[in-house]
Amino acid sequence: MSLEIKIPAVGESITEVTIAQWFKKDGDFVEMDEVICELESDKATFELNAEAAGKLTIKAEEGATLEIGEVVCLIDTEAQGNSSSSSKEETSGSSSQAQDSSAGPKSTGEIKEMTVPTVGESISEVTISSWLKSDGDYVELDEVIAEVDSDKATFELPAEANGILRIVAEEGSTLEIGALICKIEVTEGGAPASSSGNKDSQENSSANQSGAPSKESYATGHASPAAAKIIAERGLDASQIKGTGKDGRITKEDAENAKAPSKEAPKQPSTAGTSTSIAHSTEGRGERREKMSSLRKTVSRRLVSVKNETAMLTTFNEVNMKPIMDLRKQYKEKFKEKYEVNLGFMSFFTKAVTMALKEWPAVNAQINGDEIVYHDYVDVSIAVSAPKGLMVPVIRNAETLSFDQIEKEVVRLATKARDNKLTIDEMTGGTFTITNGGIFGSMLSTPIINAPQSAILGMHNIVERPMAVNGEVKILPIMYVALSYDHRIIDGRESVSFLVRVKELLEDPTRLLLGV
């Protein structure tokens, strides 16, 4: 019989939690009331206990966010543990076990070569972002040993066997799919015994005497998903934060209590034996070099390619944003109360774009060889500025979504982009792109097409300007909008008419509701 273990109610206002860390592995035998994983909400950290003894089957991986009541794992209560057999073995052969423990893992002579796995159809190479294990460390099967960056996302690399790690590719190396990344000298007999008389064990012994935790694992010094978000937002250094969670993991509370690094005043160079002018001229002239990430290199390559391979033009118009702003002011509180999401400008622009694209399908098309591919659906790509660079996740079938569904999808994708958790599927495809430079203060720009799409709409900041309305001068909130398009597939009449249609829909948002 399999018992479903669900996310328990942990507070009145808490609707979801994140799996911070599993203390047991899939297939392990667990005892009743044994702590099996750690959960994090936006307010606190909780431990999840096994509700019965049996074999564990994990349904949600570390980092997954689940709502209250969702199944997190299963426990097969009919499975038999190895506690009785192990106790029998301990009784009959304790001396042999002691010898095995002191002997540590035994080499099988097998060398497991790990190569860069296939991580997506269009991804041909990856960069070693960071090694989570050092050369010569003992690693366990499926233990995460490294993080690799592609031009679209970051992936974790798990060990493919138990044994001693031998690193082949150093951090920062760029490898093609299938290239050798490391080797594992396969062993059997478990992890090395901590009782050996080497330097490491002596350090562990002294650490134990001083009260410091001796158990180290992948979690040691690494932030939980909630903590990582806080660290990124506040610009903290994770290496300077002491983790108080399981095995030294940095919890959300650790990140919240950490202080931002103080900016020390630069030390004045000694002027003894030198002139004041020379000392002054050498101040503040430092420089640093950073290797371009795979994402940045790919973005650079694609942007240059678009400029060289498309006949790109940009047409402009202006939109009176007062009707939308008045509508938002009147209904934003009720909208948020009902749908639990803010009513932003993106939903208005997305709805306007989807309606205009139905009337001008060439703007929603793309060139494939000698053919023009027209789409009956609208997958809207939204440009998001993420820590690692520009990300363009996709809102699927945007033409079928309501205002609240669009806003929720925008928030979900933007959050995942900033946390570097977007999947390949969430970033591929897209038939039309919307970018909003206005959030950074841009008044006007000529956005570059997101190939292989044929057009992109640029939003800008809203500024009050004098406008002539029915022979009178009025001060109105105005936004400039820009449509960059590929003139090979979109004619001037289509591009201008499309942008005028978007302008009409935005200046009279009732049209968006009535579809006219």
Query: Dihedral through CA 216, CA 218, CA 219, CA 223, nearest 10?
Result: 140
Tell me the C-alpha distance between 283 and 36, whole Å.
55
Tell me the C-alpha distance between 502 and 480, whole Å.
12
- Residue that the structure tokens 């049209």 belong to: 511
Joined together, the tokens standing for residue 262 give 């103080």
Nearest to 447 by CA among 355, 350, 313: 313
**Residue 142 annotated as catalytic:** no
Q: Where are the alpha helices (DSSP H) in 360-480?
A: 403-418, 424-427
**Residue 33 annotated as catalytic:** no
- Residue that the structure tokens 């001037």 belong to: 492
Burial class, 134, CB count within 10 angstroms (exposed 0-12 / middle 13-18 / buried 19+): exposed
Query: Dihedral through CA 370, CA 375, CA 379, CA 381, nearest 10?
Result: 30
Tell me the C-alpha distance between 205 and 212, whole Å.
10
Residue type, 470: N
Q: How many CB atoms lie within 10 A of CB 307?
A: 11
Tell me the C-alpha distance between 68 and 16, whole Å.
6
Residue type, 134: S
The DSSP line for 102-168 is HH--EEEEEEEEEEPPP--TT--EEEEEEESS-TT-EE-TT-EEEEEE-SS-EEEEE-SSSEEEEE-
Q: Where are the alpha helices (DSSP H) in 219-344?
A: 225-234, 252-257, 276-281, 294-309, 322-339
Chain length of the chain: 516
Nearest to 239 by CA among 216, 252, 258: 258
Joined together, the tokens standing for residue 386 give 């993420």
DSSP 223: B
Q: Where are the alpha helices (DSSP H) in 158-240?
A: 199-209, 225-234
Residue 168 · residue 183 · CB < 8 Å: yes
Given 135, 142, 237, 491, the catalytic residue: 491
Q: CB under 8 Å to 328, separation ≥6 — which residues?
A: 343
Q: Which residues are paired to 372 by β-bridges?
A: 367
Given 151, 425, 487, 508, the catalytic residue: 487
At residue 324, the 3 state secondary structure works out as helix
Residue 365 · residue 454 · CB < 8 Å: yes
Q: Which residues are catalytic?
A: 487, 491
